[in-house]
Chain A
Amino acid sequence: MDKIYGFLIGPGAWIAFSVFILGCICKIGAIILATPKKDRVVLAYFSPKYGFRSLIHWLIPFGTISMQENPLFTLVSFAFHFCVLIVPLFITGHVVLVETFWSVSWWTIPDKLGDILTLIVLLCLAFFWGRRLWVKEVKFVTSWTDFLLLSLVTAPFLFGFIAYHGWIDYKLMLVLHVLSAEILLIAFPFTRLIHMFVGLLTRVYIGSEFGGVRHVKDW
């Protein structure tokens, strides 16, 4: 078990982060480079002013009619995306690990808070699972890939949560936590998880069209 753990936090982490970073750069680069070939309209009508105006509205909770009409989803969605970024970046365990290897460090959040935020992530994920299973317009467009994405995100948080509390076998849980997190990072560029980056591009483009050409709001 120790050997596996050693591999995962050593070479495994290098592989995972390399695939994640290079994969994302390649994916986004491919979209941007392909744009002039068949989608020159996107560049022709691109407008920083209207594009970012739209982006800002959609980054503010309840800043759009769509969000106002779906208050529970909006609440859960914002809580989820906030926590899912904050927890892995600022939880003490991760920062200490980085400090041990690279002697760089940054702020951390208190463990108790990290625990609560992780719980929020898990509850939000449960909500997303539930929507896929029981909300008919979501169920209709759900395929195994959607459950795969949910599983990819759920696993590292769930195992991390269990490991932190020392339930079941700590070492096993820790290994599963790191392993699933690395799988998540590796899968990220090749799945719709890439929406985190590509979604910004599509938002800015439609914002440009709605603001610059159609002269209306898109929120």
Chain B
Amino acid sequence: MGNNKVLEDEGLIQGIKQLDTNKIQKIVNETISKETGARLQAYIQTCMHCGLCSKACHYYLSHDNDPRYSPVGKVKQTLWKLVQAKGSVSPRDILDMAKIAYTECNLCKRCSMYCPFGIDIAYLLSMVRRICFKLGVAPMYIQDTSHSHAATMNQMWVKDDEWIDSLQWQEDEARDEIPDLRIPLEKEGADILYSVIGPEPKFRTQLIYQAAVIMHVAKVNWTMPATPGWDNSDMAMYLGDYEVMGRLKRLHFETARRLRVKRIVMGECGHAYRSVYDVGNRWLGWKNMPIPVIHAVQFYWELLQEGRLKVAKKFEAPVTIHDPCNIVRGMGLHEMLREVVHAFCENVVEMHPNREHNYCCCAGGGVINCGPPFKMTRVEGNKIKAEQLKATGVKVVIAPCHNCHGGLEDIIHYYNLGMKLKFLGDIIYECMEK
């Protein structure tokens, strides 16, 4: 069943063709000895194979408790096998492991909250991805996205002039509504650098429009860069190409430094926050971010607190809140998110479980970026999310994360939930005083 999907992916099929057991063994052992240490050893020595992490995983719950999808089950089929066999596995084994690590785990870290020893299972599966990447066996789409990062420093092959053009186009559009609105480019010494992810200029351009309107109304001294470094996203992190991840994060921070801004505000994206706050900064050797970066949820909350953003009317239809893993389980923004949603919405219905215990959208962790061959993997792998959404009985879901939108859209469509997705920015733009 699952294996048929693998055969559709050229990245995996072509990848294993250039492998032999010696090469696999060399790279596996080299990666484990050079890139892992006490943490991996401690996790292997501590896991008692109790299976308590199983019920934490949406893949496991959505596949009628199939143990192959439990977090520890996935580790058994991948990392344990590599460690026990000392890397002596076949190309076919690597293909199966790549499928599990890239497409059947969102690295959402929910399972760590259910493991009695707090084993960081997402870290273990990230190491499997790192090994697969170094072996050249990764789903084609996510590998291509990472190539785009490496070549253009953005996720979607957006050319330098297209980026500027998209911003000016949105500025033009917005000036129909607010004649003196600007999207300031390259403004040195601005308070805030606003950075977004590749898909915003590519196909969610209205989000840049809405952000510009919010910035204008709140009288924010802001700017956007006209150079590469504008994209804060990072699929290289999920691919396991940490070298490219480092280049991306460095350029993003350096762009902010070049423009001498006080801090970076990023659009509504979850994984980009993980990349600047948790993973990329560490790879570059920064314990904390060299320039403060705040997520859109924090930014809107601040504007609301300071009275720079005012509510003109309340959003009437009942809404529910989807807590994105990377900014909630990854940063604890759940209460701020709720305060903003409650300020703008009349009727908020919680889904359960929620906050840091919320189920992942199943698109995160780079899974949606593995492309069409794996669409059904994540849709079928998140039946539990469909049930969770349906149980709220509402028709509007607020999800302040791009990946969550992509994932939830497919789930809503496939399970006929008839729900609409909104970014926080959509609601604010619609209901704020302008």
Asked if B38 contacts A215 (CB within 8 A), the reply is no
Asked if A35 contacts B37 (CB within 8 A), the reply is yes
Bound Cα distance from A77 to B46, whole angstroms? 16
Q: Which residues of A contact B116 (CB under 8 A)?
A: 58, 66, 77, 199, 203
CB distance from B64 to the nearest CB of A (A): 10
Bound Cα distance from A216 to B335, whole angstroms? 11
Known contacts A35-B37, A206-B112; A141/B46 CB under 8 A: no
Asked if A203 contacts B117 (CB within 8 A), the reply is yes
B66-78 near A? 1/0 per residue, CB < 8 Å = 0110101100100
- Which residue of chain B has the shortest Cβ distance to A31 in the bound complex? B38
Segment with Cβ contacts to B, from A38-46, A85-93, A106-114: A38-46
Number of A residues near B (Cβ < 8 Å) is: 51
CB distance from A142 to the nearest CB of B (A): 6
Bound Cα distance from A192 to B50, whole angstroms? 12
Asked if A202 contacts B118 (CB within 8 A), the reply is yes
Task: Tell me if A73 counts as interface (CB < 8 A to partner B).
Answer: yes
Bound Cα distance from A140 to B116, whole angstroms? 19
CB < 8 Å: which of B42, B114, B331 contacts A215? B331
Q: Which residues of A contact B51 (CB under 8 A)?
A: 131, 135, 137-138, 140-141
Asked if B37 contacts A70 (CB within 8 A), the reply is no
Task: Tell me if B328 counts as interface (CB < 8 A to partner A).
Answer: yes
> Which B34-81 residues have C-beta < 8 A from chain A?
34-39, 41-43, 45-52, 54-56, 60, 65, 67-68, 70, 72-73, 76
Task: Tell me if B314 counts as interface (CB < 8 A to partner A).
Answer: no
CB < 8 Å: which of A37, A45, A69, A206 contacts B37? A37
Asked if A137 contacts B67 (CB within 8 A), the reply is yes
Asked if B42 contacts A202 (CB within 8 A), the reply is yes
Task: Tell me if B361 counts as interface (CB < 8 A to partner A).
Answer: no
CB < 8 Å: which of B38, B42, B357 contacts A65? B357
Asked if A38 contacts B35 (CB within 8 A), the reply is yes
Task: Tell me if A26 counts as interface (CB < 8 A to partner B).
Answer: no
CB distance from A132 to the nearest CB of B (A): 8
Known contacts A66-B116, A69-B55, A217-B356; A140/B46 CB under 8 A: no
A97-139 near B? 1/0 per residue, CB < 8 Å = 0000000000000000000000000000000000100011111
Task: Tell me if B120 counts as interface (CB < 8 A to partner A).
Answer: yes
Asked if A41 contacts B35 (CB within 8 A), the reply is no
Q: Which residues of A contact B355 (CB under 8 A)?
A: 216
Asked if A195 contacts B118 (CB within 8 A), the reply is no
Known contacts A137-B67, A192-B48; A39/B39 CB under 8 A: yes
- Which residue of chain A has the shortest Cβ distance to B329 in the bound complex? A216
Known contacts A41-B282, A137-B60, A141-B72; A218/B42 CB under 8 A: no
Task: Tell me if B113 counts as interface (CB < 8 A to partner A).
Answer: yes
Bound Cα distance from A140 to B75, whole angstroms? 11
Binding site secondary structure of chain B: helix
Asked if A201 contacts B42 (CB within 8 A), the reply is yes
Asked if B38 contacts A35 (CB within 8 A), the reply is yes
CB distance from A168 to the nearest CB of B (A): 31
Task: Tell me if B330 counts as interface (CB < 8 A to partner A).
Answer: yes
CB distance from A135 to the nearest CB of B (A): 7
Task: Tell me if B17 counts as interface (CB < 8 A to partner A).
Answer: no
Q: Which residues of A contact B119 (CB under 8 A)?
A: 202, 206
Known contacts A38-B36, A39-B39, A195-B48; A219/B65 CB under 8 A: no
Asked if B118 contacts A38 (CB within 8 A), the reply is no
> Which B311-331 residues have C-beta < 8 A from chain A?
328-331
Q: Which residues of B contact A27 (CB under 8 A)?
A: 45
Bound Cα distance from A215 to B134, whole angstroms? 33
Task: Tell me if A207 counts as interface (CB < 8 A to partner B).
Answer: yes
Asked if B37 contacts A140 (CB within 8 A), the reply is no
- Which residue of chain B has the shortest Cβ distance to A208 in the bound complex? B118
Q: A77-B116, A209-B120, A213-B278 are in contact. List 15 more A-B contacts (CB 8 A).
A: A38-B36, A131-B50, A136-B67, A137-B70, A140-B70, A140-B73, A194-B45, A198-B42, A202-B118, A206-B112, A210-B113, A214-B329, A216-B332, A216-B334, A218-B112
> Interface of B with A (CB < 8 Å)?
34-39, 41-43, 45-52, 54-56, 60, 65, 67-68, 70, 72-73, 76, 112-120, 278, 282, 287, 328-332, 334, 355-357
Sample (14) of A-B pairs whose CB atoms are under 8 Å apart:
A37-B38, A137-B51, A138-B49, A141-B70, A141-B72, A192-B47, A195-B47, A202-B119, A214-B329, A214-B330, A215-B331, A216-B334, A216-B355, A218-B112
